Amino acid sequence: FNTERFGQHILKNPQTADTIVEKANLRPTDKVLEVGPGTGNLTVRILEKAKHVTAIEMDPRMAAELTKRVQGKPEQKKLEIMIGDFVKATLPYFDVCISNTPYQISSPLIFRLLSHRPLFRTAVLMFQREFALRLVARPGTELWSRLSANVQLYAKVDLVMHVGKNNFRPPPKVESSVIRLVPLDPPPPVAFEEFDGLGRIIFSRRNKHIHANFMAKGVMEMLESNWRTWASTNNVMIEDDFDIKKKVEEVLDESGFTEQRAAKMGVDELLKLLSAFHDAGIHFA
Ligand code: SAM
């Protein structure tokens, strides 16, 4: 195991650890999932407030240290350590997720949490600062991106605090920030692959007109192939003069999005555009 490869930067500042756990608003009945507990600086604080913690740790040496830390104490019974890779692990039921995340798995972590059922109540997560700021970015700001939209489709996300590199040992190369995420319940009734598929097209150059992004290489071929699949499964006749480009332009014109830019469009507008395409039988996945 290698410090950089597994992102083993232990949180040394007790105040930061306190704040992270505080912001989770734990209840005595809560089951908590912790990803990458390391030596347990967050874990011991969570154990004080929650009913149970499942901690998934990839490095057996870290897991052994954490085991030693709670051995013989009443908290021991409340802690289950799973040794393995979070990305492959079967997740237990949990009310709250707290994690000082190994940054290599930021994206898989957030999307695994969002697709987990039943929905959890809150997650408090530490990320590399740039990633965290993209998660909380609002439309019309510099960091508003496909990632922001994909996450905010499913959750309310806000910034808890910035954490400088000197709060860790050894200090990482990058700055960190903590965010809090609250899943929308119920989640919006839209297929993620469709929403993300539209996002891939219009965020590829987020400051360009939407129309221009649809004219990019390969886009029409992909949409036509999707349209043919959709038409055949829905018994829709494909006219001889079928023209996908014309169809796309009609949707953009009628919905009024032709000259808009993804950089300025919020989740609601993205959903409106997606549903206009769906009404016309145009799909993105
Ligand atoms: N949470 C501790 C703290 O705040 O001090 C440790 C944080 S350290 C940045 C990240 C931890 O995640 C390390 O203990 C590392 O071994 C573990 N880890 C890295 N990749 C992992 C993965 N894919 N699944 C589970 N744990 C992982």
> What average pLDDT does the segment 203-209 reach?
97
Measured in Å, residue 163 CA sits from the centre of ligand 1 at: 17
The reply to whether ligand 1 has any atom less than 6 angstroms from the CB of 9 is yes
Backbone angles phi, psi at 127, to 5 degrees: -135, 170
Contact 150, 113 (CB under 8 A): no
Quote the pLDDT of residue 6: 76
pLDDT tens track for 8-17: 999 999 999 9
* pLDDT greater than 70 at residue 4: no
Per-residue pLDDT reduced to its tens digit, 237-263: 888 888 999 999 999 999 999 999 999
One-letter identity of residue 182: V
Residue 105 Cα to ligand 1 midpoint, Å, equals 10
Q: What separation in Å is there between the alpha carbon of 90 and the centre of ligand 1?
A: 17
CA of 39 to the centre of ligand 1 (A): 9
Ligand 1 binding pocket mutation candidate from 58, 91, 109 (most atoms within 8 A of CB): 58
- How many Å apart are CA 214 and CA 219, to the nearest integer? 6
Q: Is residue 37 within 6 Å of ligand 1 at its C-beta?
A: yes
How confident is the model at residue 238, as a pLDDT?
86
pTM for this entry: 0.94
Ligand 1 center–CA 154 separation, angstroms: 25
Q: What average pLDDT does the segment 214-237 reach?
A: 94
268 in contact with ligand 1, CB cutoff 6 A: no
Ligand 1 atom nearest 1 alpha carbon: 16
Q: pLDDT value at position 266? A: 98
Cα separation, 282 vs 243, whole angstroms: 12
Q: Is 62 in the pocket of ligand 1 (CB under 6 A)?
A: yes
Q: Over the range 210-230, which residues count as b (16 or more CB within 10 Å of their CB) and which as e?
A: bbebbeeeebbebbbebbeee
Instruction: Determine whether the shortest distance from the Cβ of 65 to ligand 1 is under 6 A.
Output: no
Cα–ligand 1 centroid distance for 122 (angstroms): 20
**Over the stretch 263-272, which tens digit does the pLDDT of each residue have?**
999 999 999 9
Report strand pairing: 176-183 vs 122-128: antiparallel
Rounded distance from Cα 149 to ligand 1 centre (Å): 27
